[in-house]
Every structure is written in C-alpha cells, then in structure tokens.
Amino acid sequence: MLDLLYALLRHHARLGWWLARHGRDDRPRNRLLAWLTLKEGKAPDQIKRLFNGAKSAPAILKDHEHALLVKLQGGTIDHPGMPEEVRLECPSWAADPLQRRFKEAFRQEMAALLTSAPLDLRVNSIKSTREAMLRALKDLGLRAEASAMAPYGIRVHERPSLASLPMLRTGEVEIQDEGSQLVAMLVDARPGERVVDFCAGAGGKTLAIAAQMNNKGHIVACDVVEGRLKRSAERFRRAGLHNIETRLLASETDRWIKRHKGGFDRVLVDAPCSGTGTWRRNPDARWRAPEEQGLDNLVSLQARILASAARLVKPGGRLVYATCSMLPEENEEQVAAFLARHPDFRAVPLNQAAPQLTNSSHLDYLSLTPARNDTDGFFAAVMQREAEPAPSAH
C-alpha cells in the first residue's frame, strides 16, 4: 500500500492533468482510478470488480466514475500534449531555476528524481567496522556493498523491514544517504576540537561528526525545535556517543551565539531549504515546498542563519554551508553573497578540502545529484575564517 501511495505521488502532476483534461474533480479516488487505467493498464470491468464494496475493498463505482474509466481506456500516463513541466513532474516554482542549473541535463535529472531512493547506511566507527557490517548484512541474506564515495557508507540493494536489522537497534549503523555522509565528512572534525552543528535536526550529521571525532572533544547540536533535539539525544545514546551537547535556540540570533563568538573550530550550517534534492525520497515534498514561506523568504532566512552561525567560527576555523537543494539561489549564489559580505572568510576549494571527492559537478564545491551520483541532491561549501595576524613585536 505504501508503494502505491509513493507511486501516486510520483505521478501527481500527470494524473492531475488527465483528470483536468476530462473535467473531473482532482480527488484521491479519481486519481486512483486514473492510475489503475493509465499506468497499470486495467480495463473498466477489471477495476469494477476491484471496487465491489466488500470488506476492505473500495466502494462500488458510481456511473460517472465508470464513465471516466471508459474515457481513459487505452491511454498511457504520458501524453504528447502535456507541458514539459507536467511530464517531468516539476512544480512551476522550481522549473526555471532547475533548468538554469542543469541546462541540457534537465530532463535526465528530473527523470532520476522520479525513481526510488536507495537504502544507504553509515557505519558507526565507534561501535563497528564497515567490513563487519557487510558480513552481518550478508548473514541476514541481504545484498549490500560498500558505498562508492563515503568511507563508512553501505548501500543495501534490497528493501528489508528496518525492524529486521539488529545493527540499527544497537547503534552500529544509522540510515543516512551517501550524500549526507559526504557533507558530514567535509566538516573534517578532529578529535579534541570544538564543533557546532547549527541546524542539527534529527542529528544524522551530528552522529557522523561525533564519530569522526572518536568521541573526543565537544560538539554542540543546535536547533530551534525542541522535539527534534529530544529525538536526536536518544540516537546519540544508542550510538554510544557522549561528546555531544544539545542546545535549544530561540532563533538564529539566540544570545548563546553572542556568548560563544569565535569559540569553535568547525561550524556546520545544514540550512533549511526547498528540499529539491530529496524529491525521490520524499515525493510529496515537491508539491509542498516552499509554499509555507516562499523561495525568496527561504533564501533570506538562509542568509541570516549563515551570517549568525559564522560568528561562532574562531580565526583559522572552518564554516561548512550545506543544503539538500539543487537550486542555485540556495547554493552557489548564497555562498557568493556571504563571501562578499564577509571578507574575513574565503572559500576552500573542494580539491583542497576533500581531494578524494572527484565526481562533484562543481569545481569548488560539493555538488551531488541523483542522475550523476545516485545520491540525494546535496550542496556543500567549505569556508575558512582568516587567522588573526600575529601581534607586532613592537
């Protein structure tokens, strides 16, 4: 049933187009009827037998519903008369920036976003090794292999019940897209350092960073939503990580930031964003975001968050700005604007920050896409605060 729901969401625009073409209300039942006809190729009489009103079965078809099935019969989900945005399931608010971003690869990237996301795991190096976890997954009868880029990543080529994976319960692995693992890797936190995950959310990247630090030093996981921090604290305990402090912020300009100005070696800003890079994992997100506040307001919020978090970085320290977006406004343009306003920061090119990452679509920044990298869409930029000049001998 869940697979059917996801399939309907991945064909949202096209199903709506067909219903509008035949003057029908865009409601869930009509969408299901259109799906069964256009995608599964069922004839009206076959569908009528499914909609028989029996226990656990849908209500009996009405005459006008049967008439819709007759009109749709023989059609397919795609139609040459569909606008490109509809055929590619690209919401109008994102079409222009995504076309500008991908140019001739636009159709290929949009098609990749309509596929299912893989199951990626990150091995908790505090508790186990990738080799041990690969053997354990094989013993469970699962096909899995080491991730192509992430050093602690595993890709599982099955869809197991997560409850059947004992290594999740013990904290030996966490579910984390390979792209997200690479963003955490770019923070390059060392044992003994002081680190802030400024928009920690559920704590996935915090966990990866804390493991990088070998449970030594101090990492502060910040967020403005208390429930997220409480859930993340449970994950930290399960993972056996005790170098993490959670900090609830009232806003991006919380007083705590001023009190700890210049106090951290590394600061990660995994900014709230449109989420365009996660559409294959969250197919409903493309029809929600960024309706709540608008893309311009979201970009403005990102700029405020980035500027505020930058105050925490000590001279010589690094600031990592990341999104799960593929829109230039939220990524390269956001970083360029920040650097123009903060001359004490400079961009660290990717080949210096992480020379092992050679498949980014951007020379200076980490830029991952589903079609190119088979990860979620991610962007990350590493910036360094210039060290203060040594005091004069005079």
CB 338, CB 345: distance < 8 Å? yes
Give the integer Cα–Cα distance in Å for 326 and 379.
7
Give the integer Cα–Cα distance in Å for 232 and 331.
26
Does 324 participate in catalysis according to the annotation?
yes
CB 60, CB 52: distance < 8 Å? yes
**Given the residues 90, 199, 222, 324, the one annotated as active site:** 324
User: SS3 for 226?
Assistant: helix
Closest CA to 171 of 247, 232, 243: 232
User: SS3 for 207?
Assistant: helix
Burial group, residue 81, by CB count within 10 angstroms (0-12, 13-18, 19+):
exposed
Closest CA to 326 of 273, 381, 272, 280: 273
Give the integer Cα–Cα distance in Å for 332 and 168.
35
- Say which residues have a Cβ less than 8 Å from residue 91's Cβ, sequence separation at least 6: 13, 85, 286, 287
**Tokens standing for 294?**
């608008």
CA angle 283/289/294 to nearest 5° reads 165
Give the integer Cα–Cα distance in Å for 253 and 308.
6
DSSP secondary structure, 9-34, as one string: HHTHHHHHHHHHHTT----HHHHHHH
Give the integer Cα–Cα distance in Å for 199 and 202.
9
Give the active site residues.
324
